[in-house]
Amino acid sequence: METSGHTVLVVDDDPSIRLLCRVNLELEGCTVREAGSLDHARSELGQGGVDVVLLDVHVGSSDGAELLTELRRDYPGLPVAMLTGSASHAELAETEADAVLFKPFTLEQLTGTVRALTARAAGTPG
């Protein structure tokens, strides 16, 4: 599956995680937009054109699950992968995320997850 031409929004308060995702996903042919806060993520989503969201469970003092709930309501069908370094499998089983990447994740896990989600997004307006 190709990821080329898809736009991925990376929502994480850690600039190094956003950089890691951006550099590697751009090598896969993706356009990457970044947000360091939930408000910035909402702004990016409002501009349209997002095919996949990579969303940290904890974005600063905010709860990524709050944004996930909004995404499910406002952007049904938009694939979302949760990123976490602290939440357990059991905690995340309760979410409506399409995938979970546990930090530290490998580049293969990152690109494989985005590849799978962009395949799902191919027929979904972003």
For residue 2, being part of any structural domain is answered with: no
Any domain includes 126: no
Residues 70, 33, 19, 85, Cα dihedral to 10° = 10
Query: Is residue 95 predicted with pLDDT exceeding 50?
Result: yes
Which CATH number characterizes residue 87's domain? 3.40.50.2300
Supply the range of the domain harboring residue 99: 7-121
State the pTM of this model: 0.90
If one counts the domains in the chain, the total is 1
Q: Name the residue with higher pLDDT: 88 or 45.
A: 45
pLDDT given for residue 1 in this prediction = 47
Residue 79 lies in a domain: yes
More confident residue, 126 or 79: 79
CB environment 11-28: b (16+ within 10 A), e (fewer): bbbbeebbebbbebbeeb
